[in-house]
């Protein structure tokens, strides 16, 4: 997720302002030089007033938002570049092509006139969100695929069948409990693996849809006269993307569950 969307902690930001820290250091130094508590007491009072009023000031918050968003955006861009280098070559190529389409759409929109560009600015910002979402989905797709490549579902199913047969006539009660525990773990693993496979299908379909939308929008921009003539509904697409992101967030913990189950399996 884009860290620029996370709100800053205004009180923490105000406390860490260089001017504030410099003033506090000066007060402590003055107190040490004069061997007096008076500077510290006066400084504490001034700091209390500063923290009471400044973090809640509308001017300070607007200034902090601008500074924070810029720093967060720079950090996010650096993180994205790192993520792209880690993608499989085919996924990296697809993401790179989307970036070029985004640039082409913007360029064509500018050439259509300032009014059209102004009216399209909101939709252009939505394309940035979709680009980030594609990268997020590509990373998730890779992670899920890598895990599934190291899992043999056929072997797990064979173990389930074997345990079910043994449970029909266990040698004793204690062994029967262990066999049942093992069977429960294996069945839960199969259930989780099914969820991961569904997740792979979902993010793959969402990436394909984002690509198709970028291509269609790029085609339509050639003859666009105004945003009203667009047949692409980016809001619907974004709604679908956000739904898939929520599903991914709910699915991610299953990977850790699967690893714990694999180690907990009783031979």
Cα(first)–Cα(last) distance of the chain, in Å?
41
Cα–Cα distance list, 150 to 200, 214, 262 (Å) = 15, 34, 12
- Per 3-state DSSP, the chain is made up of helix, strand and coil in percentages (nearest 5) of 85, 0, 15
pLDDT at 126: 86
pLDDT at 97: 95
| Spatial distance between the Cα atoms of 103 and 208, rounded to a whole number of angstroms | 19
pLDDT at 1: 46
Q: Under a CB-based contact definition with an 8 Å cutoff, are residues 251 and 195 in contact?
A: yes
CA nearest neighbour of 184 among 208, 167, 207, 205: 167
Q: Enumerate helices (H) and strands (E) in the chain, giving the number of each.
A: 9, 0
pLDDT at 244: 85
Cβ-Cβ contacts under 8 Å for 199 (sequence gap 6 or more): 140, 144, 247, 248, 251
Q: What does the domain layout of the chain look like in residue ranges?
A: 1-76, 87-264
| Spatial distance between the Cα atoms of 69 and 71, rounded to a whole number of angstroms | 6
User: If you average pLDDT over every residue of the chain, what do you get?
Assistant: 82
Q: Is 112 helix (H, G, I), strand (E, B) or coil?
A: coil
pLDDT digits (tens, 9 = 90+) for 162-181: 999 999 998 899 999 999 99
Cα–Cα distance list, 233 to 99, 103, 240 (Å) = 19, 19, 11
* Phi-psi group of 35: left, alpha or beta (phi > 0 → left; psi -120 to 50 → alpha; rest → beta): left
Q: Under a CB-based contact definition with an 8 Å cutoff, are residues 141 and 244 in contact?
A: no
List the pLDDT tens digit at each of the 267 positions of the chain.
Answer: 444 456 778 888 888 888 888 888 888 888 888 888 888 888 888 888 888 888 888 887 776 766 666 666 667 778 888 889 999 999 999 999 999 999 988 888 777 777 666 767 777 888 888 998 999 999 999 999 998 998 899 999 999 999 999 999 988 999 999 999 999 999 999 998 999 999 999 999 999 999 998 988 888 777 665 555 565 677 787 888 888 888 787 777 766 666 666 665 544
């Amino acid at each position: 997720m884009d860290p620029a969307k996370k709100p800053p902690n205004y009180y923490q930001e105000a406390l860490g302002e260089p001017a504030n820290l410099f003033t506090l250091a000066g007060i402590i130094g003055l107190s040490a030089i004069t061997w007096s508590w008076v500077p510290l007491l006066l400084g504490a009072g001034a700091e209390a007033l500063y923290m009471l009023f400044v973090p809640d000031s509308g001017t300070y918050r607007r200034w902090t938002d601008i500074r924070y968003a810029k720093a967060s955006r720079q950090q996010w861009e650096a993180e994205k570049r790192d993520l792209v280098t880690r993608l499989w070559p085919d996924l990296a190529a697809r993401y790179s092509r989307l970036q070029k389409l985004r640039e082409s759409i913007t360029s064509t929109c500018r050439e259509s006139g300032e009014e059209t560009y102004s009216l399209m600015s909101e939709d252009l910002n939505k394309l940035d969100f979709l680009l980030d979402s594609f990268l997020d989905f590509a990373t998730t797709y890779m992670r899920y695929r890598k895990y599934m490549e190291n899992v043999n579902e056929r072997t797990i199913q064979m173990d389930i069948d074997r345990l079910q047969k043994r449970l029909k006539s266990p040698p004793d009660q204690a062994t029967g409990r262990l066999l049942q525990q093992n069977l429960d773990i294996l069945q839960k693993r199969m259930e989780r693996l099914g969820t991961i496979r569904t997740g792979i299908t979902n993010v793959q379909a969402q990436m394909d849809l984002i690509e198709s939308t970028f291509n269609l929008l790029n085609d339509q921009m050639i003859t666009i006269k105004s945003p009203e003539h667009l047949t692409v509904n980016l809001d619907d697409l974004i709604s679908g993307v956000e739904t898939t992101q929520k599903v991914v967030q709910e699915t991610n913990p299953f990977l850790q569950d699967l690893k714990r189950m694999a180690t907990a399996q009783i031979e």
